[in-house]
Structure 1
């Protein structure tokens, strides 16, 4: 089977349009159409249904698209490994993690990585959905639970707890609760219990809600929760790692916290020799060592 025709088919199937695929491939629409027609003739089947709004894959087209998608992912992996210099770190690195960890912990620290490796191109993908690393939806992931996908190299980085925090200004105005029963006199800021989040965090929020909280602000990510706390709107349920960068926040009801949430770094086994992966892994580990030292220092000062 002609790989060039398969490459063009994959671009058309991905774009859903001859015109858009042609723009991507730098080919005319008629040239793309001829190649698709030739491929259909060689396979003696129809790969697309033609509609005014675009192209829709037939059942046979879906089967072929699954195959070409897997081939493209494998080629991307091979290309990434070939481009990894034995002595230099450069090129694109696709990193996925949760919105909260990515915005509150990882992104503010990336300057140190760029200072060391200025030719890196980080594509930071922040979402709660677990991306498929073996299928190369991302190169490396930081996850709030141990990955279950096969063919991954994984390393436990640290443990996180969800705790209650408020600004000094809010507590000066509303008072500091000393017992859980007093929470009903305050506004609670938390992730919406229906949002995708770690189980330990959701369990803590459910427990707090049993105390008949009168006023609530719910957000679908921890960055939003933090903004509410920083602007003195109430007491927020936040991961403990925010304190390193926001040491003025006050921990409320220090005996209350979630169970430990393990944080793992993972990447496909086939990228074990990647210099970019190694550079990112070492950077994260160094930052966590620094984070632990800072937390220990803050605990002593308190």
Structure 2
């Protein structure tokens, strides 16, 4: 084969990366025996790998001497290049490990505004005591976010999760009821039936979130009746939905709210015989399971949901379960 052909073959085939660190150890120790011991390899195997590298270079890299081996001129040139290559690779590895380490401690969670305020935030201090290096980013929104573009790790959703990219399970249900304030009820008597809802001031969602109305009303009859009434009657429409609590507290009308959250806000329930429940789903990205911190946070949330099932279900659901 011609020299040109040999050079072409070497360019096409190329040496394996692990040959260069092996060569570097031999060059540093000056002995194939000592290098083999340090590398945990047999001497014949190491010698064979070095010959592979020499064939690629097309020149001898070592002279054998009584004390071991000594670098040829080509070996000295390769040692300088190899040292620079290994230093650059170690720097890359250290930088990558630092960046991966930072992201590994960060957990991004998306949940509804109400769940974030009344359920998730009260548990953050306890979670951080268990994991002092934990960093959290919380996205409080009722809208379903794009999991990939927001790089979310854990998603807590109500109702049908509608997400094929996530895995998880149903961890409970949250009961909804109709609420108002003493201020509003002082002005107007509470409705005696759902049919009287259109005669009241109702707090509804704005037109920019029609998907919420269609999704929830499609699942539960009470949602359908309340949303229909809010379109017919005098309604205050507010987004985001978390502000429905404040609007109800200000006496602006009746609102359809989660029972445990509305009770925590000091609101008054009307038509307590009417309730509805939505499932709560604890979901995660399958890829995020590779991060230990994400797995630990997910297990913590799963345990906390198990403890909170009765509270989330509300008084009506608990009473029904007991009967």
TM-score (norm 1): 0.59
- Residue of structure 2 equivalent to 1:43: none
Q: 1:270 aligns with which of 276, 287, 295?
A: 287
Q: 2:161 aligns with which of 146, 151, 157?
A: 146
The alignment status of 1:123 with 2:140, answered yes or no, reads no
* 1:31-75 deviation line (CA, Å, top 9, x unaligned): xxxxxxxxxxxxxxxxxxxxxxxxxxxxxxxxxxxxxxxxxxxxx
Which residues of structure 2 form unaligned runs of 5+? 1-95
- Residue of structure 1 equivalent to 2:243: 224
* 1:95-126 deviation line (CA, Å, top 9, x unaligned): 12233433443234323222332321101123
Bigger radius of gyration among the two: 2
Q: d(CA) in 1 for partners of 2:303 and 2:214? A: 28
Q: d(CA) in 2 for partners of 1:296 and 1:156? A: 13
- Residue of structure 2 equivalent to 1:96: 110
Matched-pair contact (CA < 8 Å) for 1:141–1:266: yes
Distance 1:79 1:191, change over 3 A: farther
- What are the equivalent positions in structure 2 for 1:64-75 lying under 5 Å apart? none
Matched-pair contact (CA < 8 Å) for 1:190–1:218: yes
Distance 1:293 1:256, change over 3 A: closer
Matched-pair contact (CA < 8 Å) for 1:244–1:295: no
* 1:209-266 deviation line (CA, Å, top 9, x unaligned): 54575321111222111111122221111133414633x32222234344x4322122
Matched-pair contact (CA < 8 Å) for 2:194–2:225: no
The alignment status of 1:234 with 2:253, answered yes or no, reads yes
Q: d(CA) in 1 for partners of 2:180 and 2:227? A: 17
Q: Identify, as 1 or 2, the structure richer in helix.
A: 2
Q: Identify, as 1 or 2, the structure richer in strand.
A: 1
- Once the two structures are overlaid, the 10-residue window that deviates more, 197-206 or 174-183, is 197-206
After TM superposition, give the deviation of residue 277 of structure 1 in Å. 1.9
How many residues align structurally?
A: 218
- Residue of structure 2 equivalent to 1:201: 216
- Residue of structure 1 equivalent to 2:191: 177
- Residue of structure 2 equivalent to 1:191: 205
Distance 1:81 1:245, change over 3 A: farther
- Residue of structure 2 equivalent to 1:36: none
Q: d(CA) in 2 for partners of 1:91 and 1:136? A: 17
Matched-pair contact (CA < 8 Å) for 1:189–1:229: yes
Matched-pair contact (CA < 8 Å) for 1:96–1:140: yes
Q: d(CA) in 2 for partners of 1:118 and 1:148? A: 31
- Residue of structure 2 equivalent to 1:54: none
Q: d(CA) in 2 for partners of 1:92 and 1:209? A: 39
Q: d(CA) in 2 for partners of 1:190 and 1:147? A: 23
Matched-pair contact (CA < 8 Å) for 2:201–2:252: yes
After TM superposition, give the deviation of residue 93 of structure 1 in Å. 0.9
Matched-pair contact (CA < 8 Å) for 2:172–2:306: no
After TM superposition, give the deviation of residue 174 of structure 1 in Å. 1.7
TM-score (norm 2): 0.56
Q: d(CA) in 1 for partners of 2:312 and 2:278? A: 17
Q: d(CA) in 2 for partners of 1:228 and 1:157? A: 30
Matched-pair contact (CA < 8 Å) for 1:154–1:265: yes
- Residue of structure 2 equivalent to 1:281: 298
- Residue of structure 2 equivalent to 1:291: 308
- Residue of structure 2 equivalent to 1:251: 269
Distance 1:200 1:136, change over 3 A: closer
